[in-house]
Homo-oligomer: A and B are copies of this chain.
Amino acid sequence: MLSQRLRNDSLKELIMSAEEASRFIEDGMTVGFSGFTPAGDVKVVPFALVERVKKEGQPFKINLFTGASISSKVDSLLSDAGIVNLRLPYQSDKGMRKHLNSGEVNYIDQHLSHTAEFLRSGALPAVDVAIVEAVAITEEGYIVPGCGVGNTPIFIQQAETVIVELNLAQPLGLEGLHDIYIPNPHGSREPIPLTQPGDRIGTTVIPVEPGKIKAIVVTNELDVNAAMTPPDEETATMANHLINFLRDEVAAGRLGPSLAPLQSGVGSVANAVFYGFLDSEFSDLQVYSEVLQDAVFDLLDAGKIKMASGCSLTISPAKHDEVLENLDKYRDRLVLRPQELSNNPEIARRLGLIAINTAIEVDIYGNVNSTHIMGTQMMNGIGGSGDFARNARLTFFCTMSTAKGGKISSIVPMVSHVDHTEHDVDVIVTEQGFADLRGLSPRERAKRIIENCAHPDYKPMLMEYYEEALQKGGHTPHNLEKALSWHVKFVKEGSMK
């Protein structure tokens, strides 16, 4: 069994315990973990590291760089242990969130395509140690990644020390699905030769310089993915609005029956939209996205999707075995890439993606807040939404029109934090309807967003704000004294009403 997984005999002597491997990590180092939301994350060395640090009782801090979110347990463990100085580019853990909102952990909320570039150009501290999951190590000593590619290639390229978690629980059938392409440094960079979502332009393994692998830890644990909330009435309604919009686009001749390659953010809304395609007339769909969730596989099974490219397979426990044990079925229709390729602006613009992402709140002019609750508290991070929204052919942001049982309106006079400016937002979708903002000036946008997307409870209040703002005038009318008053009210009184 192990010889199938570790095909280079000379590396066998590097097999060691997680505790031993953790000794390569020193105070002050920058450590890159594999893992993308949270597929393919490392599962044992982080625990051993925290044990070791606690035992030693010495001051100890690392910078923790990942692909995107990793296991919630690990983010909580490391941040609770107080050993994280800087965390980037994305997280979605309650524990880590607490520490970064208190300022105890420095967090850089970063476009997911940017991290590799910033490391390459020296804009971030260089990665000292990469800890990466593999389902196999080849004869050449190269890495076959697990369910997520993320930033693993750049971490390995930059690190002096690579620790491999060789995971026997993940199927060897993953081998061959990956397509690893690493752009040259600036100055000698070529066009990325990808013109269709399914193009394979790299290698199936991640190259590692000889001698870099210093430790191999054998593991036997599946990825821990969240359960996927099935579409409920509200997410299904939003999905319907979005699909009806696409239907209108086809009718108007702006899109064909196969639409355009689809990108969708993580979560139940995106999943519901994809389930909506199951019963639609669209066919031969293609996906060029970051996380591939459950619905993608239902659509592949139904023959609706002909090609899916992503950065990770994030399959819920309910569907996990069905997909992972039948990878051969998908082999010709599935590609997993590094996140600087899955989220690359060059590719997003070239392919003309349809980008579907979620918002926390949207303002009447179409600016989107994807990250901060009431302007100050970080939720997760911008993730890949900015990579796609700016460059897609058609950019959707979806949100329920209210939150907290109606006490929060997701449509507000002015967003309390901006992640996507009105320049990058084409269509807003709520359970109330959609607002097509293309070709509209700010004043036209305001009327359409309030009319089509706001909850009836908040519509009169929004119109009142807008009418008052109009009296002040300007291209983007605002009453700055009241622009953030809804948020202030919520913080004080627990309701925007």
A interface list, Cβ under 8 A from B: 86, 100-103, 106-111, 114, 117-118, 121-125, 186-187, 189-195, 252-254, 256, 260, 344-346, 349-352, 367, 372, 374-378, 382, 386, 390-391, 393-394, 416-421, 423-424, 426, 438-441, 443-444, 469-470, 472-478, 480-481, 483-484, 487-488, 491
Contacts and interface: CB of A to CB of B under 8 A. Distances in A.
A459 to B, nearest CB: 21
B476 A417 contact: yes
A100 B475 contact: yes
B125 A382 contact: no
B393 A260 contact: no
A414 to B, nearest CB: 8
Given A254-B122, A439-B123, A476 B375 contact: yes
A476 B372 contact: yes
Contact of A418 (B117, B421, B475): B421
Contacts of A491: 480
A267 to B, nearest CB: 20
B189 A376 contact: no
A344 B109 CA distance: 25
Given A108-B441, A423-B382, A101 B474 contact: yes
Given A345-B345, A473-B101, A86 B439 contact: yes
A47 B88 CA distance: 55
Contacts of A477: 103, 376
Contacts of A488: 480-481
Given A123-B439, A191-B195, A386-B421, 15 more contacts: A100-B441, A106-B441, A106-B444, A107-B441, A111-B424, A121-B394, A186-B351, A189-B350, A376-B472, A376-B480, A378-B475, A390-B390, A417-B476, A421-B421, A483-B484
Contacts of A346: 191, 345-346, 349-350
Given A101-B474, A393-B117, A125 B378 contact: no
B476 A111 contact: no
5 contacts: A86-B441, A106-B440, A189-B195, A189-B352, A346-B349
A118 B193 CA distance: 24
B101 A345 contact: no
B480 A121 contact: no
B109 A423 contact: yes
Chain A contact surface mostly: loop
Nearest to A346: B346
A187 B474 contact: no
A312 to B, nearest CB: 21
A74 B274 CA distance: 49
Contacts of A345: 345-346, 349, 390-391
A110 B350 CA distance: 19
Contacts of A111: 390, 423-424
A374 B469 CA distance: 13
Given A195-B191, A346-B350, A474-B101, A419 B421 contact: yes
B189 A191 contact: no
A20 B187 CA distance: 51
A122 B252 contact: yes
A480 B252 CA distance: 44
Contact of A475 (B107, B256, B367): B107
Contact of A393 (B186, B386, B483): B186
Nearest to A107: B441
B423 A124 contact: no
A469 B491 CA distance: 14
Given A377-B474, A393-B117, A260 B439 contact: no
A367 B418 contact: yes
Closest 4 CB pairs of A and B: A186-B352, A376-B474, A191-B191, A378-B475
Contacts of A117: 349, 393
B253 A122 contact: yes
A193 B472 CA distance: 49
A423 B490 CA distance: 27
A261 B107 CA distance: 30
A346 B352 CA distance: 13
A496 B245 CA distance: 46
A253 B185 CA distance: 14
A194 to B, nearest CB: 8
Nearest to A124: B439
B478 A375 contact: yes
